Amino acid sequence: MQKKAVFFIVATILLGTSLSAQKYFTREGKVSFYSDAPVEKIEAHNSKATAVLDAGSGNMEFAVLIKAFQFEKALMQEHFNENYMESDKFPKALFKGEVLNLDKVNLEKDGEYPVKVKGSLTIHGVTNEIESPGKFIVKDGNITASSSFTVEVADYDIQIPAVVRDNIAKEVRIDIEAGLQELKKGS
């Protein structure tokens, strides 16, 4: 009986240590945004986001280079980088937060799991707290993390010139999808 108890305690500690050391990573996360205004719809895509998930703590980070967003029209991309996002001055957007209900996600079992993410989103040098629902799809040891949320342009001190103010939506939808793979030790 005592041997079983010792084994159980050691196994629990080792399993906990192993799980807390699990990290998932990608350099090919997808971030897109969509702005629906009466005159013009604006959409851009970026497939070079970096994301890291610490499965032990639930901590998650996302970073995206602003200049890597691709637009349908080159002029839109130029205006986005130079006039609105000032991407030379503020080269990236960053999310640092945590998955609040990671304990409800079985990373060892294929399936789809609803998650809630909370943290600090920094865009254009301004940081705001956000909370967003999302989902994790676990398949063959990999995780596809996704979320969709909206931000107010004014909340991130993004100035819209008066000439085009009516052409630009005040709210922008951001969609995120990241295929995370387990980060192997020594990688």
Distance between CA atoms of residues 47 and 71, nearest Å: 12
| Residue range 61-119, pLDDT digits in tens | 999 999 999 999 999 899 899 988 999 999 999 999 999 999 999 999 999 999 999 99
Alpha helices of the chain — where are they, by DSSP H? 2-20, 74-79
Token reading at 144 = 């596809």
Spatial CA neighbour of 34 closest among 122, 153, 179 = 153
- Smallest CA-to-CA distance from 132 within 92, 99, 180 is with 99
Residues 168-178: tens digit of each pLDDT: 788 999 999 99
Token pair of 47, please? 């497939």
pLDDT score recorded for residue 25: 97
pTM: predicted TM-score of the whole model, two decimal places? 0.84
Looking at every residue in the chain, the average pLDDT score rounds to: 88
Sign of CA dihedral 179, 181, 183, 187: negative
In the chain, where the domains are located: 22-182
Q: Which CATH architecture has domain 22-182?
A: Beta Barrel (2.40)
Cβ–Cβ < 8 Å for 163, 130: no
